Amino acid sequence: MILSGIHIGSEGLARMETNNLLKLLEKMEPGIVLFDNEFNVKFINQALLLIFPQISKHEVFSTNLLQLHEDKPRMQIREVFRLMKDATRAVPFTIRHMGYDRQERFLFLKLMPLLDGSLQDTVNCCLVYDITPFITSPQRALLKIPVSTTSGIQLIDPAEIVYIKAENVYSRIFTASGDYFCDLSLGVIEEGLSPKQFTRIHRSYMINIGKVKKIDRESQSLTVIMEDDKIRLPVSRSRAKAFLQQIGLR
């Protein structure tokens, strides 16, 4: 596979599954963009154009950076930029799901302010890593779920997931070994996972069907008990019928 001009063979992909993803990022050439506080682009490198081949050099320098993105990623960029300015330091790697001209990208971004001769942070730098080829299939199915840990970014195999909980525009991944924060929304994860393996039972919960141990019916309510007996998750009324049909109980 090719990422920003770097070739990663099958052996490299195997290491990626077991090692911290940040170690792999060190070997990649990131896309780099320098821009001012009004999001006007000042400098870019060639790798950025490889990540976004649909955007021409002319567009990059003649259009405001935000105008190159649709509404949702535009809001995400503003939020990450705000966090950077509030913290006055580099924002840790964050995962962003962006769409442009019907092309989806899963990106690692890192923003940092740069100081000029007067020590004013009037210029900003963004490092961009496109990890789309490494966590999705050609059909854009998610093969791995990137999550944040104390040691960096790691990839979770969907088969290890017990359930996923929405946390505002983010999500939390629960496995038998622990839970992890994920920058992707529950909706984005739902689109990328197999509906034969995962199902949305509530606006806040999606479960691995293979991890369900039993189902409790109490009056008008429906609850799923996951494999360790300690996890009980509600099934919303609007999704109950479809869920029961999916598992063959109706």
For the chain, the structural domain boundaries read 2-135, 145-246
Protein fold of 2-135: Beta-Lactamase (3.30.450)
pLDDT tens digit string along 39-74? 999 999 999 988 888 888 888 899 888 888 777 778
CA distance 237 to 215: 14
Nearest 5°: CA angle at 20, between 50 and 134? Answer: 35
pLDDT tens digit string along 86-119? 765 666 667 777 665 556 778 888 888 888 777 7
CA distance 220 to 27: 55
CA distance 49 to 57: 8
pTM exceeding 0.75: no
Which residues are CB-neighbours of 105 under 8 A, at least 6 positions away? Answer: 51, 52, 97, 98, 99, 130, 132
Q: Which CATH architecture has domain 145-246?
A: Beta Barrel (2.40)
Average pLDDT, the chain: 81
How many CB atoms lie under 10 A from the CB of residue 27? 10
Residue of 181 and 133 predicted with greater confidence: 181
CA distance 202 to 209: 14
Sorting pLDDT into bands at 50, 70 and 90, what band is 12? very low
The region of weakest confidence among 94-103, 169-178, 188-197, 225-234 is 94-103
